[in-house]
Amino acid sequence: FRTEDMNQPFLTHNPELLELIAPQLDAELRQQQADDGLEPQVKTILKKLLAGHRPRLEDVARELGTSARTLQRRLLDEGMSFHSLVEEARRELAKHYLLQSSLELNETAYLLGYEDPNSFIRAFHRWEGASPGEWRSTRARNATVSIN
């Protein structure tokens, strides 16, 4: 990626959608901050920051009240990388959004910090071995079968 690309605004910015999901994300953040582990705290903050943005290590460090270098060192000490935690947070949120809502794929992609829905679809396929639409349909069919 080029540095200039990082400064481009999201074309699909949706403040109404952000208002809709912000209370849930704030509640998750408070719940996770009670946990002592660094990983759940970072992932909860990432989930909050993902909504329409690319999360940065510096932003997460600020939320935790530490420096970016200290956070990076602590993550490495625990055998984690910031990038892998971003991917895990995106994967968890993607599955949540696909199961719990009727959001369209482009809205889900935006909420996960992807500018392009195709990037989200490729990432989801890499994580789950199926497209988001196929994954959602399979889960819906399985839920219907278990109810009957």
Domain ranges of the chain: 13-147
For residue 106, the one-letter residue type is N
pLDDT band at 107 (very low <50, low <70, confident <90, very high): very high
pTM over the 0.75 mark: no
Q: What is the pLDDT of residue 148?
A: 41
Q: Which fold has domain 13-147?
A: Arc Repressor Mutant, subunit A (1.10.10)
CA distances from 26 to 8, 31, 50, 116 (A): 26, 9, 13, 26
Determine the Cα–Cα distance for residues 31 and 1; give it in Å rounded to an integer: 35
Instruction: Decide if 106 contacts 117 (C-beta within 8 A).
Output: yes
Buried b (16+ CB within 10 A) or exposed e, 50-77: bbbeebebebbbebbeeeeeebbeebee
Tokens 């079968």 locate to: 145
